[in-house]
Amino acid sequence: MNSLFIVFHVILLASSVHLTNASYEYFKLALVWPTTFTRIRAPGRMMTNLPQHFTIHGLWPTNFSLPWPENCADKKPEYHFDQNLMTATLQRQLRLDHYWPSLQPRKSNMDFWTEQWEKHGSCSAERFAQSKYFGEAVSITNNLDILAEFKNVGIIPDGTQTYSRIDIVNAIKKILATKKTKTNQVEPELVCDQDQSDVLLSEIRLCLDANLAGYIRCPINRSPGVKLCKTNSNSIIIPV
């Protein structure tokens, strides 16, 4: 077992909290492809040292139907982001700069983590306190090797080759088949962006149960404005 994975869980078990009823039903882990993000949403960013791996956009507690929980610290001030918990030691142990960096030139990593916790993480605070929440997100992501599986099936980010949605989905399903799941039909979400005539892979979203104990099929619901890759798409580019 990956030693980093073991370290995460030693830390997380020590900070675990008693499970109580929470106002969400499952989690969605959103992993972003940095080159697409900067090309579409931050075109002024310098492209040097841009991560060439999927990074965490967020780990979002949500529901199978509306309403979806957000900004829960507004009602429970004790759940507001505590920057003092994000110590340099914790950041190094979790490699947050690697797994969960801000991709926006005017937003620091700390600002990005604050935003994600305030809007999303605070809604799972009864089950996952702040340090545990960030640790779980990193641990789950660390245990996925998406690019390696892509390479195994001939999906190579190069900015020119096109791939079908079904081929990308099947590669992800192959990875998840080796993980703990809560259903036999685990289905990820793929988010695409349009750049002139190019269809770019933007995000991979994976769904897990409310305790982060196993993957589930992502329900067919999406946030307004989110453009899922078309089911029959066969021209998706992964830019570099």
CATH class of residue range 3-237: alpha beta
**pLDDT tens for the 240 residues of the chain, in order:** 455 544 444 444 433 333 333 489 999 999 999 999 999 987 766 656 899 999 999 999 999 988 899 999 999 999 999 999 999 999 999 999 999 999 998 899 999 999 999 999 999 999 999 999 999 999 999 999 999 999 999 999 999 999 999 999 999 999 999 898 877 689 999 999 999 999 999 999 999 999 999 999 998 766 667 899 999 999 999 999
Q: What is the pairing mode between strands 236-237 and 198-209?
A: parallel
Can you give the length of the chain in residues?
240
- What's the rounded Cα separation, in Å, for the pair 43 and 202? 14
Chain centre to alpha carbon of residue 230: 20
In the chain, the amino acid numbered 25 is E
